[in-house]
Amino acid sequence: MRVVAVASALAVLGLLDGALAGFRSSLGRRGAVEHRVRDRVAARRGLLLMGGLLLPVAVATGLHALAPGPWPAEAYVRAGTAMLAVYLPYAVVTLLALLGYLALGWRWGYLASAVILGPFTLVRPLVATAGVVAGAVRGDDGGVTVGCLLALGAVLAVEPLSGRLWWSAGQGVRSVASATQRQ
Amino acid sequence: MSEAPAPRLHGHREPDPALRRDAVEITDLLWRIDEAGRRLPVRRSEVVERLLASGQRKAARTVARMPARDDVLDDEWVDALGIRVHCELQRLVEELQFPRRVAALLAPLLDDLRAGGGGPVRVVDLGCGLGYVVRSLAHRGLLGPGVELVGVDLNPVLVAEADRLARAEELDCRFVHGDALRPGVAVDDPARTVVISSGVLHHLSPESLTALARAEAALGLAAWAHWDIAPCGWSTLGAWIFHQARMREPVSRHDGVLSARRAHPAEVLLATARSGAPEYDHAVHEGPRWHPAAIDVVRPLVGIRR
């Protein structure tokens, strides 16, 4: 049961991160003042994309479970708990700042963005890597380490991939690639 | 009688000592528009040499990778880049809550002007880029009724895109290409016009800042409010963090951090404004620089006719 609880908590955090990454990937692209509908679409796409990117983690874990010999459930729990210890505080602070940004007046909303949301976006790859390193070290198992690395790949890929898939071109803005080819 | 010591200005700091005075933003060099508004060719090698001359090697490498034909930068590509860069910049301006800042400062000024009667009041955004501030003010109605919103920029590509975006969202504002302070371009009734700008002042030398204030005073504007970055370690750090975290274009990252480093201290803004427009009251609304007064990282130079 513990392994299911830890895996579920990590999956929820991963999908939440995917939604926020999808939202970020759509910002600064189109120039419209009103973009709430687009924000929601981008967040949904990011969530679904993250779900897809995390599938290899589930597949690798399943294959590991089906492999001959005992399945090291305890190693997964140790690794997952170590990852949660890194990710949960980051997620809680981010969510509180987001709530502040949305619910408080513009001055406090600005501070939430300037002091927390911006810097936290910058350190997100480092936090993701730190969690995976902690998980791999605590898990101390080859199969667990593979799962951790696949999860890290998903977290690092989701935002640029979302941007490239859905938001990189439009409004008559010619892509860099096509312009370079024309040269 | 000995000369009194110079007053110690609160939070005074010298310009960034590591920054060369001739350092320039990449986007300052990518368009050349003549007086008639015609686009002139921009030679890639000249831009690269200009950046190398001011020690900006990374910026020079960025430009060297831009597409060109016979050494002339590809207009279409540069225009697309300019729009991408300004869209990214709009994201930051939105995060900085810029329209709210503008509305909070202008509300009492506009109330006074409206109280005097005589038709609508006009707010002109000088160097409006994609016009986000004007479009956002129009969209949210933050300045109340009886206010005409006009955005002006020297770059016709940005003006055209600002106009397209405004029409797409059916916003009650307009955009004009040209010099905002030239009579007839955007200012018809100076006594009922307030000129604003955001992120423009750091592009100007102290001499040009004086000339700007002189031109505004010569027009007889009711008031102006020019927002720009307050130069200090916090704003440079913040600019670096946010441009790394939020921007995708290398040009945006380079220019954004340089903007913070080359911004003018409050005492320079005040001295040049007082020199150019002595008949106006001036103020720079900013807190002390020795602690992270994050809300004041972008602050206005305000001039109000006495």
Q: What is the mean pLDDT of residues B111-137?
A: 94
CB interface of A with B, residues 18-37, below 8 Å: 27-34
Domain boundary among B17, B42, B73: B73
Domain tally, chain A: 1
User: How many beta carbons lie within 10 A of that of residue B291, not counting itself?
Assistant: 9
Q: CB distance from A122 to chain B under 8 Å?
A: yes
Residue owning tokens 């034909």: B69
Contact present, B190 and B113 (Cβ < 8 Å)? no
Q: Are residues B180 and B268 in the same domain?
A: yes
Taking each helix axis from N to C end, the angle separating B266-276 and B206-219, rounded to the nearest 10 degrees, works out to 40
Q: Are residues B144 and B101 in the same domain?
A: yes
Contact present, A117 and A97 (Cβ < 8 Å)? yes
Chain A residue numbers with beta carbons less than 8 Å from the beta carbon of B251 are none
Domain tally, chain B: 2
Find the CATH number of the domain harbouring B223.
3.40.50.150
A29: nearest CA partner in chain B: B87
Q: CB distance from B245 to chain A under 8 Å?
A: yes
Q: List pLDDT tens digits, range A104-125.
A: 989 888 889 999 999 999 999 9
B78 occurs within a structural domain: no
Q: Are residues B177 and B103 in the same domain?
A: yes
Query: Burial, B230: exposed, middle or buried (Cβ in 10 Å; 0-12, 13-18, 19+)?
Result: buried
Cα(A14)–Cα(A132) distance, integer angstroms: 13
Helices (H), chain A: 2-26, 36-66, 73-103, 106-111, 118-139, 142-162, 176-182
pLDDT score of A177: 34
DSSP string over B165-229: HHHHTT-S-EEEES-TTSTTTS-S-GGGEEEEEES-GGGS-HHHHHHHHHHHHHHT-SEEEEEEE
Q: Are residues B32 and B100 in the same domain?
A: no
Ordered strands of the B280-284 beta sheet: B174-177, B147-153, B121-126, B193-198, B223-229, B298-305, B280-284
Residue A27 structure tokens: 């910002």
Question: B230: domain range?
Answer: 87-305
A176 occurs within a structural domain: no
**Residues contacting residue A102 through CB under 8 Å, at least 6 positions apart:** A109
Chain B residue numbers with beta carbons less than 8 Å from the beta carbon of A111 are 294-295
Please, what sign has the CA dihedral across residues A36, B168, A164, B81?
negative
Q: Are residues B31 and B106 in the same domain?
A: no
B189 occurs within a structural domain: yes
Cα(B251)–Cα(B55) distance, integer angstroms: 16
A180 occurs within a structural domain: no
A117 occurs within a structural domain: yes
pLDDT score of B169: 97
Q: Are residues B199 and B57 in the same domain?
A: no
Q: List pLDDT tens digits, range B170-185.
A: 999 999 999 999 888 9
Q: Are residues B136 and B281 in the same domain?
A: yes
A83 occurs within a structural domain: yes
Residue A79 structure tokens: 């690794």
* β-pair partners for B32: B40
Q: Are residues B189 and B129 in the same domain?
A: yes
Q: Are residues B140 and B280 in the same domain?
A: yes
Cα(B42)–Cα(B72) distance, integer angstroms: 6
Chain A residue numbers with beta carbons less than 8 Å from the beta carbon of B165 are 31-33
B19 occurs within a structural domain: no
Question: A27: domain range?
Answer: 2-167
Mean pLDDT score across all residues of chain B: 90
Supply the ipTM of this predicted assembly: 0.86
pLDDT score of B118: 82
A175 occurs within a structural domain: no
